[in-house]
Amino acid sequence: MTSPGDARLFDKALAPRFALLCLGIWLNAADTLVTATIMPSVARDIGGHQYFGWSVAAYLTGSIVAGACSGKLSMALGLRAATALSGAIYAIGCAMGALAPEFVTFIVGRLVQGLGAGAVVALCYVAITALFPERLWPRVYGAVAGVWGAATLLGPTLGGVFAAAGFWRGTFWLFVVQAIIFIGAVMVMLPAGGADAARSRIPSRQLILLVLGVSLIGAAGIVASPVLAAALAIAGIAGMIAMLAVNRRTDDRLLPASASDLRTATGLGLLTVFACEAAVIGFTVYGPAFIQARHAASPLLAGYVTGAIAAGWTLCALLVGHVSAQKDGSLVRLGAGIIVLGAAASAWTVARADMTWTAAAFALLGAGFGLSHAFIARRTIAGAPAAEQAMASSAVPTSQLIGGAVGAAGAGAMANVLGFSEGIDTALAPTHGLLLFGAFLPLAVVGFAAAWRLGRREIAAL
């Protein structure tokens, strides 16, 4: 039975607006599991196993850049024009992926797709305030969150059906069609709005250093010389450190000034989010390929096994959603500890165990995020100065995206070093696969150490 509040949200006037928001967020939410499911089929068709990590890193990097610029784009063009333009960019990226004759074009398409998707999602959240009365905003935010859960179930299905039919390109064409529908709805439903000449500056130096750092780390996996690969990886890490240094010294920030200060709750929280995401993104990038190769599994089944990560996250997030602030420190520590255990178990099971154990390990890994993520975010935001709390709020997902981009690029580089540049060799999988996924466990430990400090009782008072 629906409540009176639900009835107001889903009445004839508001239901189409809510559907528009859900479609915009779906375009981004479904991407990770859809793409992970079809990537082995993509690589078999157009080559590019050595660029596996780039398929995720390019998309996430584009999303970071777009998220940082979307507010300025909205002020410059108006909300309707900015959102429609972002949808068009997303559609172009999808079409590039669908038409790609080789993997470099595919990766460029993924970057363009990420630029569009990141802006679409950011602008959809902005549009909530334009499309709904203020009393319904909390309800809309909560209802829209369900789209991410739906993507967990439907993403592997879409990718698996198209991959099993030998038509992975159809997945991208399907999203082109959805993007066109989204653009049409935007032009009808969103208010035109005027451009605003008063704009703050885009944190361009940080974005340049971020893109450079991710690119250098990814490039380490496609060079023949081990010495050059190491040099590129070190240079990429240096680029990330330089990004934090520049961010701290400028007023046009991508992250709060305290992001690099581990004496603060904000710095500890952002480090936890970054390190944990970087440690585990490799399972999303390479998990389906390993499962398909080792167990002769269908793309659909491999997608659902990998989707256990998202399922564990969603279920546990729902279970602890109403925990009081007095207990959140314990859940921060517990969740981060379970992430370490889940990452270790997942590294072993993907490389050596059967699919049932792999799904269980993935669910455990996702449960760690579900138990702790909201409370890490709460402490990260509360620990920032009042003037930076809004920036700290946006910095949590930004740090997660940065961690995903860096981790995906690093996983691609590591996979190529270990002999998976031409696909998953089942003879190497039990040993080299364990090294591939286990190499990122130290990052999970770093995340746990930061979370342990973040969960201290005295920080809870911030």
Q: How do residues 173-218 score in pLDDT, each as one tens digit?
A: 999 999 999 999 999 888 776 555 445 577 888 889 988 988 888 8
Q: Are 437 and 365 in contact (CB under 8 A)?
A: no
Q: What are phi and psi of 250, to 5 degrees?
A: -115, 160
pLDDT given for residue 200 in this prediction: 59
Domain total in the chain: 3
Same domain, 181 and 304: no
1 falls within a domain:
no
140 falls within a domain:
yes
Residue environment code for 421-448, b if the CB has 16+ CB neighbours within 10 A, otherwise e: bebbeeeebeebbbebbbbbeebbbbbb
User: Which segments in the chain show pLDDT lower than 70?
Assistant: 1-12, 134, 137-138, 142, 145, 193-200, 224, 321, 323-326, 457-462
Say what the alpha-carbon torsion angle 309, 312, 314, 320 is, to the nearest 10 degrees.
Answer: -140
Name residue, tokens 């314990």: 330
275 falls within a domain:
yes
Last residue of a domain, one of 191, 223, 251: 251
User: What pLDDT digit, counting tens, does each position of 1-27 carry?
Assistant: 344 444 455 566 778 888 888 898 899
Same domain, 369 and 399: yes
Last residue of a domain, one of 178, 199, 220: 199
79 falls within a domain:
yes
Same domain, 278 and 187: no
Same domain, 176 and 302: no
Rounded CA separation 271/261 (Å): 10
Same domain, 266 and 392: yes
The pair of structure tokens assigned to 437 is 């996924």
2 falls within a domain:
no
Same domain, 372 and 449: yes
89 falls within a domain:
yes
- List, in order, residues 6 or more apart from 382 with CB less than 8 Å away: 265, 389, 462
What's the CATH code of the domain at 55?
A: 1.20.1250.20
Same domain, 67 and 155: yes
Same domain, 163 and 244: no
The domain containing residue 135 runs over which residues?
A: 8-199
Same domain, 239 and 266: no
Same domain, 278 and 157: no
- List, in order, residues 6 or more apart from 102 with CB less than 8 Å away: 46, 47, 48
3 falls within a domain:
no
Q: State the CB neighbour count (10 A cutoff) for residue 95.
A: 18
User: What pLDDT digit, counting tens, does each position of 185-197 carry?
Assistant: 999 888 776 555 4
257 falls within a domain:
no
For residue 28, which of 170, 182, 242 has the smallest C-alpha distance?
Answer: 182
pTM: 0.85
Q: Are 220 and 190 in contact (CB under 8 A)?
A: no
Same domain, 195 and 213: no
User: What pLDDT digit, counting tens, does each position of 341-357 carry?
Assistant: 999 999 999 999 999 99
User: What pLDDT digit, counting tens, does each position of 420-450 carry?
Assistant: 888 898 899 999 999 999 999 999 999 999 9
Same domain, 171 and 62: yes
Mean pLDDT of the chain: 85
For residue 83, which of 147, 18, 127, 113 has the smallest C-alpha distance?
Answer: 127
